Amino acid sequence: MGGKFLSYTDQLDYAKEAAPEAGADSEQETLQTLCGRYGIPEDLIAQIEVWTDEQVKLGLREFIKRLTIKMSQSLHGFCVLRALGYHAHIESDGKTVKSLRQIAKHFGCSHQYVDKLTKDLESQLGVQADALDIEKKTYTMTVNPPQGFITLGNALKKYGLTRQQLQGVVDANRLGVVPYKRSSKIIDEKKLQAAMRRHDFSGKESI
């Protein structure tokens, strides 16, 4: 543990933590040595090693899953998991809650407190984890037109035109302007380029 009067060390000794019934001089045999004692064929030993390795991984996954489920039942346990980057699913009224506000409501506190507590734990634990399974809503006004088309707004920027000049090119060459997403309008870029080469920009077109 760490704290005001404690410090961490990279040289941890767990010898004193072993259970008494394990025995002081017990040594773990390798799987190959154990199987060899009973005369198990070499090809079968390889299969047993693969099976054992997979079972250990599955057991570890199950342990982590149960631990995260248990910890996520409390606010501080959930925030520790969130700070470490683990996925902890919380259900409220039979539904999985994901947004920060829903999680805060589930624990009966403000979402600012949940976020502050997580950041404090990140700092104390010395980690910088991404928020776990929290839906982040990002809003953008960027419109990606179909291939070969360009939005009128991007055309103004790309070709250095004013709105009046662009409208004059469109009207004079009867170019088709198509309504698109988020109130934007798109136009065939090749046709626009060809029309711009033919157009006389000395006129006083207006919209």
**Per-residue pLDDT tens for 28-38?**
567 777 777 77
Per-residue model confidence (pLDDT) at position 17: 59
Q: Are residues 45 and 101 in the same domain?
A: yes
Instruction: List per-block mean pLDDT (blocks of 10 residues) for the chain, which spans 207 residues.
Output: 47 58 55 76 78 86 81 85 75 74 85 86 71 46 82 88 87 87 84 88 52
For residue 168, give the nearest of 156, 180, 158 by alpha carbon: 156
Residue ranges making up the domain that contains 178: 149-198
Residue with tokens 């009966």: 108
Q: Are residues 118 and 161 in the same domain?
A: no
What is the tens place of the pLDDT at every residue in 105-146?
888 888 888 888 888 888 887 765 554 444 444 445 567 888
Instruction: Please state the domain count of the chain.
Output: 2
Buried b (16+ CB within 10 A) or exposed e, 18-49: eeeeeeeeeeeeeeeeebeeeeeeeeeeeeee
Domain boundary among 125, 158, 188: 125
- Give the global pTM: 0.40
